[in-house]
Amino acid sequence: MNIPNLLTLFRFFLIPCFIFAFFSRSNDSLINSAIIFFIAGFTDILDGYIARKFNEITKYGTVMDPLADKLMLLTVLCCLTIKGYIPLLILLIMLAKEFSMIIIGVFLYGKNIIIPANIWGKLSTLIFYVAILFFTFSKFLGTYLLYIAILGAVVAYINYFLIFLSKYRQNATK
């Protein structure tokens, strides 16, 4: 197992740490959980950089890296919903989006079709991280930014789905 894959595996272990920190009775629970979230984000950037720079891209990393990201995102949204910071509808929209992307991803993986990340997905992820940062200082601003991130995620999903349809049709005609 190479360093990028170990970093990805580490992110899976950060998920229960985030949950524990978020629901702790500490006065700093939001700050502590945000720190864990940002460690996860940093290791995500780091593992991708190392994998590309040192040509250590593996099938494990190709599958598990986005899965770790999706599970962390959904964990954060579940926690925010449970505490009443965001409405259940937002969580349900993101659950539907992420699970359908996982299903499509598994389908494409079996057909050796790769859909690259798009600007909307990257932008919504960045805004999502900023929103979580702002939650530690201003729940109102954090919520507002989270709505923008989710809108970007929906736009990214539509874009991914259109690319999927195009690639699927190309493969079907071969």
CA distance 62 to 109: 10
* Percent of the residues in the chain that have a pLDDT greater than 90, as a whole number: 45
pLDDT of residue 78: 96
The pLDDT-based confidence of 60 (bands split at 50, 70, 90) is confident
For the whole model, what pTM was predicted?
0.85
Give the total number of structural domains in the chain: 1
Tokens of 151: 């809108």
Higher pLDDT, 97 or 118: 97
Mean pLDDT in the chain? Answer: 88
Domain housing 113: 3-172
Closest among 69, 72, 65 to 4, alpha carbons compared:
65
The CATH number given to whatever domain includes residue 69 is: 1.20.120.1760
Higher pLDDT, 120 or 16: 16
